[in-house]
Structure 1
Amino acid sequence: MIRPHQERPIYLGSPGEEISIQDLQTIKHRFKSLNQLRQQRVQDFLQPRQQAFLDLLPLLFHCNFPMLPGFISSSTPAGIPEYHPGVQAINAAKQLAKNFSYTRVASHVYPIEGIFLMGSVGSIAFSKTSDMDIWLCHQSNLSSDAIEELQKKATAIENWAASLALEVHFFLMDSRQFVLGQNTPISSESSGQTQHYLLLEEFYRTAIYIAGKSPAWWVVPPHEEGNYTRYIKHLIDNLFIPEHELIDFGGFDAVPAEEFTSATLWHLYKALHSPHKSLLKLLLMECYASEYPQTEWLCQDIKKAVYQGGYMMVDLDPYLLIYQKVEKYLQNAHSHGRLALARQCFYLKVMGASDNTMDSQTRGVREKYMQSIAKIWNWPISAIDNLKYQRLWNIKKATAEHAVIVQQLTHCYRMIMGFAKDHVAQNQENTDDLKLIGRKLHSFLEKRPGKIEIITTRSEVHSKENILSIVENHLPGGDGWGVYLGNVLMANATDFEPIQKCRFLIEILCWLVVNRLYYKQLQLQFSSHSLKMPNEELHSTLAQINLFLTQNFNYDPPLETYRILKAQLNSLVIINMGMSDDDGLCVMSERSDALSYGMSRQCFVQSVDRISLSSWGEITTSQGEGIEGLFNCFTDIINNTKKPLSSSCLKFVCHTPARAKEIILRVEAVFDVLIKLFTKPHHNRSPRYILPGGTSFYVFQMSNKTLSYKELATKKMLLSELASPREWFSAVHFDQVVLENTPIQLIYSLNRPQVIQLFYYENKGDTGVYIVDEKGSLYTQQHSKTNSNHLLKQYSIFLESLLRRNLFETFLAIEYYEVKKNSTGVFSYSPVQLRAASSCQQLSLRITGEDTHNGIIYSVYCNEKEFSSLDYGNQVFYAAYQYILQFRNGKINYPIHITDIDLPLSAFRIDRPEKLQVIHYLNYKQKIEDKFNI
């Protein structure tokens, strides 16, 4: 074995100084030797059958052979300059295609300019779970059809690699476009154009040269790094090196500050779900940003070692270089806590989070490697031993670690925002991704009541707890809940520290499921003074939450999701959780409504616990009590859930003995009605839905695109609501048990805008009159011992006189109906035709008025005889009444009916004509008639 040795330093002169062509070739050779060493490390890590992939990789793109992987057609672009397959490649090809033979074809056209592996594949951090990113560089002048063919071939080779248990990703590269920032490959580790230069630095630091042209960056000496473009031009123009030997990806002449912002935010984004994998890169970005604008790139350390000749004697592992730079930076900053976290991240990256990522031999080698690193960098003696137990973490350790990581992420976020404020112009383009990532970070890191914290380290919990206790606590700010390790009761809970505290039980249960602590075999101890929750109900509830999240929740939504404003997607509602005591719920009654049951109108919904999922990957919980808790839940879902809304967005769970199914069916039916009425287009802009809840009634209505409800405590208040004037027509939809012994539901089933409908119902000599006006307002009046024909004629005269004077903006129609009730109590209706009023009617009673600065001056016309306030003052109505009595035989006292009203708007307490409706006249008519008929 040849021992590595120090080679002579090479100095390539600046323009105008001496440059040795031989030294240029030596530099290329040194870089290729370093790359061969890295490639061999990769091969040593791979299984024998996987090693054929790297052996064959350049050959597959150098020629098109039908029996080899990736063959598309004989015309697929193929051919790599400076490539000659070795014995291993040819033998590997013959293993797959027995009749394969390689014949060198002289050609001056090579569509494939180079093949490079990049990323962690060439570092000590490479593992079985690592993927391989491959830059497949092609000529700039390839046609779109040729590029499409090449992409098909690359995809086919990816599939072949997958059959070898390798995850491979090809990125087709046009180096000229890349230099211009037009063809930046987007991988799982970068966000594309916003990280052009940082991706380029990672490429130069981690790339493994497989075949093709040499990167031009190799032949630019370290002292000319800031003069990259001019130096390459100098070499080519002066024939120091042929242009066709180089592939140029560019240099670091002028790296924009916004790249550091972009890369930091991107790694923050990745750290939310893989913190240890991303934290070292986050710290590297912080190092780079702290050095800006004189950034000392890690790839330059490799280049310096190659030019100085010691590249084979020092460890230039790409991942180790990151750690070393971060270690120095944190030591200089005296950030001991962050340094310990950086060491942990490096250890986990090298050793893996579990034993199944590498074989025992590899693990042994890497353990020795970590011991050497710990010695070189003077780690605490116990550091390695402590890190070995990472795979034995329990939830207590994971939550503590999560707190540290969130603190670090927040620190990095504030740092890079400060950097951006100082160095990045506010009008920079390509900030779209940054805005989306910023939304993602804020959404994930923001803490607020009811929001479930997703532990970033939950996947690191390899030691599952067997017993957990859920305990209700008395807290200074009110009662709350805690989760404890082992068996803990309310009586001794103060002696232990909970691993999680929440305001409500639903938060605790959701937190357990979200952070993967719940499993079927978990033993749970439940201790509470306010709730009774049998073990069966507790596990069933947790299982329902787990199923709900599994089916509906995306822990890592794509960035594009954050382009649209946040909206709720799905909700799980648990009714009466922990209220398994069925006292008072077993009474039987013909009135079987679960929301207003029996003669006492009992509501079976006692508590409402809800879990909601948002489009931004948030999980929130809320808790409510009784019927209003349920209705608050409904309105919030309809107002804030992404449209179109359907009943599938809401799932109900209830464990109330004997009543669960009944309760769920009832609340589902109500929610279905709300969706039908308030989430779909209707000709009627403002329908109302009325249903009972306990002893009250509740009215749902949309206003300014927001659904709300109000409580009406009595039937009288409900009728008053129906009678109130409306701004526009409002159809009314009744739940089946509202006003069920009246014809009002039947009446409203016929209600239409711009139509006045009069219904009369005769019952034992009394006549009930129901009028629904053109906007849906209800007028009711009971008349005792009256002639119904005469009564209807009086109403008809009054209504038609209003319409004749054209008081309203649009033409209104009048319809008349008779209502009857059969022996079973069912109401029906039939239209009636009223005969025109006689011209020689006995009495015409018309009330008019006009506004003055002293108020309204009334005039009452009785058969054209005028009684005015100017003459009678406040007694004007009494004077008219005395006059009317003269026309009655024996001065019999029977009802007086007003035939017309013509008053100013102020009499009805309104200020605009468009507010005027028939209900105003009917109410005023009744008010005056009550004065006459006392």
Structure 2
Amino acid sequence: MVHLNNVMQYYINNIKKELKDLALLKHKRALDGMSLEFQRVFTLLPALFHFHHPALPGYLNEDTPMGIACYQGSDEVFAQLKNEFNFNLPQTLNKADISALYSMGSTCSIGQSVTSDLDIWICIENNLSAVRKSSLQKKCRLIEQWAKELGIKLTLFVVDVDRFINQHHECLMGENCGSAQHILLLEEFYRSANLLAGKLLLWFAVPANLTVNNTTYPSYEKCIEALVEQKIIERDQWIDFGPLTGLSAEEYFGASLWQLYKSIDSPFKAVLKTLLLEAYSWIYPENKPIAYQMRDFIQTFKSNEGCYLDSYYMLLQRISNYLIEIKDFPRLKLVRTCFYLKVNEKLSIANSTPSWRRKVLEDLVKQWKWDKQCFAKLDTSHTWKIEQVREIHEVLLQTMMTGYRNLLNFGRRNNLDSLISPQDLAILTRKLYASFEVLPGKITTLKLNISHNLQEEALTFIHVKEDRINRAGWYVYKQKPILDQIIGHQYLEYSKYLVKLVSWCYFNRLISDSTEFYYHDGEDRDKAKITKFIDDLKQYFPIDVPAATEEQLYGPCEIRHLAIILNLENDPTTQCELDHEINTNILNYGKKELSLVGSVDLLYRNSWNEIRVLHFSGTLCVLEAIKALLNRMHKDADLPNS
């Protein structure tokens, strides 16, 4: 038994060494190529939570938890505290209210870039009173503010270790993830967590087969009891968030539903997470998340696998293998594009001191058989104009809808119909269609946040009449109306009606204060009306509005912002002689009893954040517009905001 214990002790010690070596490597990688401000915040964070002193950022004049278990600050950090804050180390510090600090998400991985946020978990072990925990959270807000002043987006989360063991579902990371993301959030933590200071994660040391000294235990908890009783581990050296068990179909469905819902507002950012969940659900009921893979590599001492267990690199591998298996090559191309942009290394620009990220990315693009032209285009994505953004928007749209269909199929395969909340599904469906459904009067807006500036220097609106080669309606070009500049160029957008076309340009941010407008409708070249219309839009119609709430999406759509545009398309007053003696009714004017309203356009944003245009022309246009408006403003509806 003593011999077996020694073998087991040797095994555990080697795992501890693997975990510490990985933490050191990832810490070094996290600092590589980052700004001095980032390096300063990242390096000092553990010391700011270990010590609590008026000279240091985050100080509160109240009983605030301090001290990190197993903390060993470097001489460089202590010198930095002395130089920057004139802080001298105390003689003794026996307190350890905090168990560990872990970074998670893209930090320390190839997915970390100079624009990445820092997400840090402050892990505590349930011995803090509510008052002291509140004090620790206040300290977190002060340290976040200190980082913000240095230009670093830092988010700190105080996390009880029993959050997952006892299945607490309070909001975490600013998201209403609830029980749907319970185990999958823990999986993401185990997959991406990197130790900054404190105790090691026990889950990585507990044998996957729950066997200790030739005895297999019935549960994860019993296995830990055996390791402690046989003095193979010292319990207070480890932090335990519990096992990754019970990944149910309901959780996969719920988490995928939430991720898909979230991705509608920032589809480019969420593609990788959404597809990872799809890849996990593809092999369900077999549960093999990436965190399991990482634990296997650590327990077999193969920590150099997967680019040294890089969470984003392994995520890319898992998604790629899945898409290749199902022969979905368009989405595979999109995933590689998203990954390339996430790493943000710009391979087309020479670099005399390449980072480790750049070297890995160079190997990947060789595997993908990308030529320089391919990644040079992506390297200039911040300068893209509407054509390139729309091209990738179409691919993202197809990806989202494919994911939505696959999610519904997964639900049906696993008989989840009765477990799916009809309200949740209705809200997701409505949000998907409100964002992406193409309808005749609806303005499609591109929400990718790739390019920094979609504005154009000049926009030319040209009208084509009936009985011409091109279909009748309005076309917009991003050139000035010089014949040899227009000919051979593709128009940006077409609409049968001018209001919709101008609004499309406005809501997709093509129009700036300096944009020049040109207007051709046969012989008429007067652009005054368009200019006035655009001025009105800027004044009354905000482009950015809060996202539709779940309550709004579940309820009937109501008009929120409304513009009624008269005679932009067809203006009878230009052909009319003033007549003060006969009849001055604008709908029945003068001797000829003409209507002075030739066209009415209703431009409105509804409570689902759709932007719609309705066009009416002819002698009955006013009545038709009023009828359409009343149909959309039912008696229980709130009045429009403006």
TM-score band by shorter chain is: 0.7 to 0.9
The answer on 1:416 being equivalent to 2:407 is yes
- The 5 A counterparts of 1:476-875 are 479-486=472-479, 497-529=490-522, 532=524, 534-550=526-542, 553-554=544-545, 556-559=547-550, 561-579=552-570, 582-584=574-576, 586-589=578-581, 592-598=584-590, 602-625=594-617, 628-634=620-626, 636-637=628-629, 640-641=632-633, 649-650=641-642
Residue aligning to 2:337 = 344
Partner of 2:85: 97
- 1:651-704 deviations in Å (ceiling 9; x for gaps): xxxxxxxxxxxxxxxxxxxxxxxxxxxxxxxxxxxxxxxxxxxxxxxxxxxxxx
Native 8 Å contact 2:204 2:299 kept in 1: no
Shift, 1:621, TM fit: 0.7
Q: Distance in 2 between matches of 1:17 and 1:442?
A: 61
- Change beyond 3 A, Cα 1:359–1:219: farther
- Aligned pairs for 1:314-393 (under 5 A) are 315=307, 316-351=309-344, 366-379=357-370, 383-393=374-384
Q: What is aligned with 1:444?
A: 435
CA displacement, residues 91-142 of structure 1 (integer Å, 9 cap, x when unaligned): 23223432533232334xx332221111112222222322111111223242
Structure 1 residue aligned with 2:201: 215
Relative distance call for 1:35 and 1:560 in structure 2 (3 A) is: farther
Partner of 1:720: none
Provide the residue aligned with 2:295 in structure 1.
303
User: 2:398 is matched with which residue: 399, 404, 407?
Assistant: 407
- Count of aligned positions: 630
Q: 1:181 aligns with which of 135, 145, 167?
A: 167
Is the partner of 1:244 in helix, strand or coil? Answer: helix
- The CA deviation at 1:410 is 0.8
For residues 547 and 168 of structure 1, the distance between their equivalents in structure 2, rounded to whole angstroms, comes to: 35
Residues 1:73 and 2:92 aligned together: no
Counterparts of 1:349 and 1:98, CA distance in 2: 39
Where 2:511 maps in the other structure, the secondary structure is: coil
Identity of aligned residues (%): 27
Q: 1:72 to 1:461 in 2, by over 3 A?
A: closer
Task: State the distance in 1 between where 2:496 and 2:260 align.
Answer: 29
C-alpha distance 567-124 of structure 1, shift in aligned 2 (>3 A) = same
Instruction: Flag the 1:386–1:359 CA change in 2: closer, same or farther, 3 A.
Output: closer
Aligned to 1:115: 101
Query: Partners of 1:628 and 1:433 in 2: how far apart?
Result: 42
Q: Does 1:245 align with 2:237?
A: yes
- For the pair 1:472 / 2:463, whether they are aligned, the reply is yes
Separation in structure 2 between the aligned mates of residue 631 and residue 232 of structure 1, nearest angstrom: 77
**1:369 aligned partner, one-letter code:** V
Q: Helix, strand or coil: the match of 1:612? A: strand
Relative to the length of structure 2, the TM-score reads 0.87
Equivalence map 1:200-239=2 (5 Å): 200-224=186-210, 228-239=220-231
Letter matched to residue 195 of structure 2: Y
Richer in strand (by share):
1
Change in CA separation of 1:589 and 1:134 when aligned onto 2, cut-off 3 Å: farther
- Distance between the aligned counterparts of 2:50 and 2:567, measured in 1? 69
Q: Which has the higher contact order (CA 8 A, sep 6+)?
A: 2
1:191-213, Cα deviation, whole Å (9 max, x unpaired): 34321222112111111212222
Give how far 1:144 is off: 1.9
> Bigger CA drift: 516-525 or 455-464?
455-464
1:327 CA drift (Å)? 2.0
Given that 2:102 and 2:121 are in contact with CA atoms closer than 8 Å, whether structure 1 keeps it comes out as yes
Compute the displacement of 1:19 (Å): 5.9
Which amino acid counterpart does residue 52 of structure 1 have in structure 2?
Answer: R
| Preserved CA contact (<8 Å) 1:64 1:73 | no
Which of 288, 291, 296 is residue 280 of structure 2 equivalent to?
Answer: 288
Deviation at 1:415, TM superposition (A): 0.5
Cα distance in structure 2, aligned partners of 1:616 and 1:301: 42
> d(CA) in 2 for partners of 1:116 and 1:491?
61
Provide the secondary structure at the position in 1 that maps to 2:107: helix
1:426 pairs with 2:417: yes
In structure 1, what is the equivalent of residue 215 of structure 2?
A: none
* Letter of the 1:340 counterpart: K
1:320 Cα shift? 1.3
Could you say if the C-alpha distance between residues 576 and 532 of structure 1 is closer, same or farther in structure 2, counting changes exceeding 3 Å?
farther
SS of aligned partner of 2:472: strand
Q: 1:537-561 CA deviation, whole Å, 9 max, x = no partner?
A: 22332232244332x7526334454
Residues 97 and 433 of structure 1: CA distance in aligned 2, closer, same or farther (over 3 Å) = farther
Please give the alpha-carbon distance, in whole angstroms, between the structure 2 residues aligned to 1:486 and 1:291.
51
2:39 to 30, 36, 51: 51
Secondary structure of the corresponding residue to residue 112 of structure 1: coil
Query: Alpha-carbon deviation of 1:264?
Result: 2.7
Q: CA RMSD in A?
A: 3.7
Q: 1:137 to 1:259 in 2, by over 3 A?
A: same
Q: 1:19 to 1:597 in 2, by over 3 A?
A: farther
Which amino acid in the other structure matches residue 48 of structure 1?
Answer: L
Cα shift readout 1:55-95 (whole Å, capped 9, x = no counterpart) = 33222222321221111134112222212333233223223
Deviations, residues 607-632 of structure 1 (Å, cap 9, x unaligned): 11121111111111111136743344
Shift in Å, 1:167 = 1.0
Distance (whole Å) between structure 2 residues aligned to residue 34 and residue 447 of structure 1: 49
Farther-moved stretch of structure 1 (506-515 vs 425-434) = 425-434
Cα distance in 2 for residues equivalent to 1:323 and 1:239: 40
2:154 is paired with a residue of what secondary structure?
strand
Structure 1 contact 67–96 (Cα < 8 Å) conserved: no
The question of whether the paired residues in 1 share the 8 Å contact of 2:15 and 2:298 is answered with: yes
Give the secondary structure class of the aligned counterpart of 1:299: helix
Cα distance in structure 2, aligned partners of 1:413 and 1:479: 36
Summarize the Cα distance change of 1:160–1:496 in structure 2 as closer, same or farther, 3 Å threshold: closer
Which one-letter code corresponds to 1:125 in the other structure?
Answer: G
Q: Which residue of 2 aligns with 1:139?
A: 125
Pair 1:397-2:388 in alignment: yes
Q: Which has the larger radius of gyration?
A: 1
- Give the partner amino acid of 2:430: R
Q: What CA distance in whole angstroms lies between the structure 1 residues aligned with 2:13 and 2:263?
A: 42
Q: In 2 relative to 1, CA 115–478 (structure 1 residues): closer, same or farther, beyond 3 Å?
A: same
Q: How far apart, CA to CA, are the structure 2 residues paired with 1:642 and 1:490?
A: 49
SS at match of 2:438: coil
CA distance in 1, matches of 2:555, 2:189: 34
Note the C-alpha offset of 1:518: 1.9
Runs (5+) with no aligned partner, structure 1: 1-12, 651-934
What residue is the counterpart of 2:154 in the other structure?
168
> Could you tell me how far apart the structure 1 residues matched to 2:456 and 2:624 are?
37
- How high is the TM-score relative to the length of structure 1? 0.61
Give the Cα separation in 2 of the matches to 1:137 and 1:341.
Answer: 36
* Contact 2:505–2:511 under 8 Å retained in 1: yes
Q: Which moved more, 1:148-157 or 1:89-98?
A: 89-98
Per-residue CA deviations over 1:461-502 (Å, capped at 9, x if unaligned) read 757544444333448997333334536799999976543232
Match of 2:261 in 1: 269
Give 2:214's aligned residue: none
